[in-house]
Structure 1
Amino acid sequence: MRPTMNMVMIGVEDVGAVRGFYEDGLGWVAWRTGGSGSVMYRTGGVVLVFLAAGYLAAERGVAVPRGGATSLASFVASRNEVDDALLRAAAAGAVVTSPPRDRDGGLYSGYFDDPQGVSWEVVWSPNMALAEDGSLVAGG
């Protein structure tokens, strides 16, 4: 069974800083960029879309969530990738809020807050695998 890929939209004050953190700091590759300054990344079954905060607020007509209101998970292919992601995030200015550790169900994960206040869990699971497009599939 293949889960549907989710899309998460986050408004940020400085899209350039976000791109610097995710692309230069974590090594993520932008999947698509838009004319409004938006940028999309595909990670762990999620399409993550960063939009300028003012643009997102105008489009939705609501206040943009701030200060850790958004929490996301990125599934990676190995335990070593969990360790590497957290080290790279810290080196790029993120705050590691929980170092990598073994969890129930065989999971191995750690947490960080990116410079925009988005909370992330980086997870490896023995029961999930990553497809080439970044989506999650059963197996491991």
Structure 2
Amino acid sequence: MNRLTAVTLGVADLEASAGFYSGIFDTPPNRDHDGVCFFPLPGCWISLFPLGHLAEDISPEVPKTRSGFSGVTLAHNVKTKDEVIAVLERARAAGAAIVKEAQDTFWGGFSGYFADPDGYHWEVVWGPMFDFTDDGALLFGKG
């Protein structure tokens, strides 16, 4: 079975980013491995790795800096519209830039966007077609 199991974000300041995401996810990171932090989420892990080390791990030719919008967003799906607002408020309190306040979407959902300290864009989203398993995994197409 194919599945996405982890998303690794290259970060400028590991400690600052670990603190930021601890506030967003309301949980401390797993720090069992030196120089990288892991946040276990239902169905996927978010890992934080210093950007230069991540680039070097991929290849010595990969640039060790980022700039601008990468064309990729991450999504945090929640069960209610109120949870969208609550997560965006936690992001704001943790120091995120709110890029788009929570609002109704053209496709019938409700979402807003924030940018983390490294400029990664997150959509916090509720949709009427989303459902969740008992362990929190996201399902599409409510039955």
Normalising by structure 2, report the TM-score.
0.80
Report whether the alignment pairs 1:63 with 2:63. yes
SS at match of 2:107: helix
Distance of 2:58 and 2:5 partners within structure 1:
18
Distance of 2:51 and 2:39 partners within structure 1:
17
Contact 2:11 2:51 in 1 (8 A): yes
Q: Which moved more, 1:34-43 or 1:71-80?
A: 34-43
SS at match of 1:33: coil
How far residue 132 of structure 1 moved from its aligned partner, in angstroms, is 4.5
How far residue 90 of structure 1 moved from its aligned partner, in angstroms, is 1.2
Distance of 1:132 and 1:42 partners within structure 2:
16
Higher Cα radius of gyration: 2
Which amino acid in 2 is paired with 1:135?
Answer: A
Report the counterpart of residue 92 of structure 1 in structure 2. Answer: 94
How far residue 41 of structure 1 moved from its aligned partner, in angstroms, is 2.3
Change over 3 Å in CA distance of 1:33–1:134 after alignment to 2: farther
Report the counterpart of residue 3 of structure 2 in structure 1. Answer: 4
SS at match of 2:95: coil
Distance of 1:90 and 1:34 partners within structure 2:
28
User: Identity rate of aligned residues, in percent?
Assistant: 34
SS at match of 2:131: strand
Contact 1:76 1:82 in 2 (8 A): yes
Distance of 1:110 and 1:15 partners within structure 2:
25
Which amino acid in 1 is paired with 2:39?
Answer: Y
Which amino acid in 1 is paired with 2:11?
Answer: V
Contact 2:38 2:46 in 1 (8 A): yes
Task: Identify the structure with the greater strand proportion.
Answer: 1
Distance of 2:74 and 2:25 partners within structure 1:
18
Distance of 1:21 and 1:71 partners within structure 2:
17
Distance of 2:114 and 2:132 partners within structure 1:
21
Which amino acid in 1 is paired with 2:91?
Answer: A
How far residue 29 of structure 1 moved from its aligned partner, in angstroms, is 2.5
Change over 3 Å in CA distance of 1:134–1:66 after alignment to 2: farther
Which amino acid in 1 is paired with 2:14?
Answer: V
Contact 2:18 2:29 in 1 (8 A): no
Normalising by structure 1, report the TM-score.
0.82
Contact 2:52 2:65 in 1 (8 A): no
Q: Aligned Cα RMSD in Å?
A: 2.4
Contact 2:51 2:65 in 1 (8 A): no
